[in-house]
Amino acid sequence: MRILLILEQAQAVKKALRDEGLSVDTARSGPEGTQKAGAGSYDMIILDLSALKADGLELLKHWRRQGMTAHVLILAKQDDLERKVQTLDAGADDYLTKPFELAELLARVRVLLRRSARASDAVLRVFDLEIDTAARVVRRAGIELHVTPREYTLLHLLACHRGQVVTRSFIRRHLYDENDEITSNVVDVYVRYLRGKIDKGFDPPLILTRRGVGYMLRKEPEEPGPAGALPPRAKPARLLRLQSV
């Protein structure tokens, strides 16, 4: 999941979000934030209205008119009901009054990300692999494993594009933010980690390599069944718990 943080003093918030396994880019002004929002693919934008010289409500309306679908969480000093209503009506998804506790900010971020998951595929299924995007839980064939937040992000990205080749550069942009210092083979390293947990000892292997291009999560073939037949029931499975990086 990628977040754009438009905030003057962003380091503490950025660190807290990255500790949650999220990729975070930062901007210090409305124009810079608008440029990055247009150039990148973000799941959420956290916008501090005090970082803007222009009218924040007009900026929100402009984003929505341009078709921006990312969730927008507003940070503002005004604890005024009318102002909150105007901000939400302008296109914000949530409004948090400053000063705030980081724990509350993270909770609100998780709520918005769960809302996105419910709006699309709450549970992604490929063969005997299940990814519960709301709970950030993974299951495969009843075997319990530990996956880190970054490994989960990689698996979720591949699952959202299952059956399609995802390039290394695309994966790198979703795993790391713009200021990370990373080695050229970091994507291959994390794919190897994930394969050791998701594919080792299972059949069929799900993570496929397309040499010189990237990686793909195998898509389950659609086999026609008898008319009126119900789909097979999923096997019972234990939870794959997330483990900190």
Both 16 and 106 in one domain: the answer is yes
Q: Indicate if 59 and 170 belong to the same structural domain.
A: no
pLDDT in tens, 78-132: 777 888 888 888 889 999 998 889 999 999 998 888 776 555 557 788 899 988 8
Helix ranges, the chain (H): 11-19, 30-39, 56-65, 81-89, 102-119, 149-160, 168-175, 186-198
Output the domain CATH number for residue 237.
1.10.10.10
Kindly indicate the confidence band of residue 51, based on its pLDDT and cuts at 50, 70 and 90.
confident
Mark whether 188 and 95 lie in a shared domain.
Answer: no
Residue range 150-155: average pLDDT?
Answer: 88
Q: How far apart are CA 227 and CA 13, in angstroms?
A: 54
Of residues 73 and 179, more confidently modeled: 73
Q: What is the dihedral of CA 114, 235, 149, 108, to 10 degrees?
A: 20
Joined together, the tokens standing for residue 172 give 């790198």
The secondary structure of 146-195 as a DSSP string is EE-HHHHHHHHHHHHTTTS-EEHHHHHHHHS-TT----TTHHHHHHHHHH
Between these two residues, 204 and 228, which has the higher pLDDT value?
204
In tens, the pLDDT along 187-196 reads: 899 999 999 9
Q: How confident is the model at residue 233 (pLDDT cuts 50, 70, 90)?
A: very low
**Residue 68 belongs to domain spanning:** 2-118
Look up the CATH number of the domain holding residue 46: 3.40.50.2300
In terms of pLDDT, which residue wins out, 178 or 20?
20
* Mean per-residue pLDDT over the chain, rounded: 80
- Is the bond preceding 99 in cis, omega lying within 30 degrees of 0? yes
CA distances from 240 to 60, 106, 179, 204 (A): 39, 23, 31, 19
Q: Confidence band (pLDDT; 50, 70, 90) for 198?
A: very high
39 pLDDT above the threshold of 70: yes
pTM, two decimal places: 0.56
Number of compact structural domains in the chain? 2
- Single out the residue of 82, 78, 102 nearest to residue 90, CA to CA: 82
**100/141 same-domain check:** no
Confidence of residue 225 (pLDDT cuts 50, 70, 90): very low
- Among 118, 151, 167, identify where a domain stops: 118
Nearest to 47 by CA among 65, 59, 62, 64: 59
Do 16 and 59 belong to one domain? Answer: yes
Are residue 103 and residue 187 in the same domain, yes or no?
Answer: no
Last residue of a domain, one of 77, 100, 118: 118
Q: What was the pLDDT predicted at 222?
A: 58
Of 8, 88, 93, residue with least CA distance to 42: 93
- Residues 29 and 35: their CA atoms lie apart, in Å, by 10
List pLDDT tens digits, range 132-143. 876 778 889 877
Q: Both 145 and 206 in a single domain?
A: yes
- Residues, the chain: 245
233 plus 147 within the same structural domain: yes
Among 118, 135, 166, which residue terminates a domain? 118
**In whole angstroms, how far apart are CA 55 and each of 35, 50, 95?**
17, 10, 16
